[in-house]
Structure 1
């Protein structure tokens, strides 16, 4: 299961220049629920990848800063910096696995 992170926890990972993936969702989004289950499978397949999730409703400032277009969205951070790799289309577990491994 993906851990729910607060904005403060995400900021700490960024400040510590960590590499991680952040899954953004909203609770009433049906597509987000499917994407969440897919990510739980991928997390089991790539256990060395730090992954967490945030409800987009609770981080509106970050959503604007990161220019989030829709949910579900998977962001990748390398050394505390947001990469250009934003995933909006969670096509399959295989696609996510190949992207994240």
Structure 2
């Protein structure tokens, strides 16, 4: 399950060191976002249970969108535990395998 968070919670988690974080960004009426969410939910079952996966509606996250320069949705923002480097963003989900590879590469 992807936890839905508000802007303040997401920005706090993105600024907190210690645990990798994956954030799914979407808009409610986006059909591609619905397909991407399903892929991420399948991938979730193949990832470690302690990996924090959150979601947020970009219409309600203007500061996050500006800070991380989100250019389209769906988007998957993955940040490693140390938060030193700028997070990578996946815009083209393609397949569950691609989503898994991306998350594993960034968060390991």
What TM-score does the superposition give when structure 1 sets the normalisation length?
A: 0.89
Q: CA deviation at 1:82?
A: 6.0
* Structure with a larger share of its residues in strand: 1
Q: 4+ residue stretches of structure 1 with deviation over 4 A?
A: none
Question: How far apart, in 1, do the equivalents of 2:50 and 2:43 lie?
Answer: 11
Structure 1 equivalent of residue 28 of structure 2: 27
Label 1:71 to 1:81 Cα distance change in 2 as closer, same or farther (>3 A): farther
> Is 2:64 the counterpart of 1:65?
no
Cα RMSD over matched residues?
1.6
What TM-score does the superposition give when structure 2 sets the normalisation length?
A: 0.84
SS in 1 for 2:72: coil
Question: How far apart, in 1, do the equivalents of 2:84 and 2:77 lie?
Answer: 10
Structure 2 equivalent of residue 12 of structure 1: 12
Structure 1 equivalent of residue 52 of structure 2: 50
SS in 1 for 2:45: helix
Q: How many residues are matched? A: 101
Unaligned runs of 5+ in 2: none
Structure 1 equivalent of residue 77 of structure 2: 75
> Is 2:91 the counterpart of 1:88?
yes
Question: How far apart, in 2, do the equivalents of 1:39 and 1:57 lie?
Answer: 20
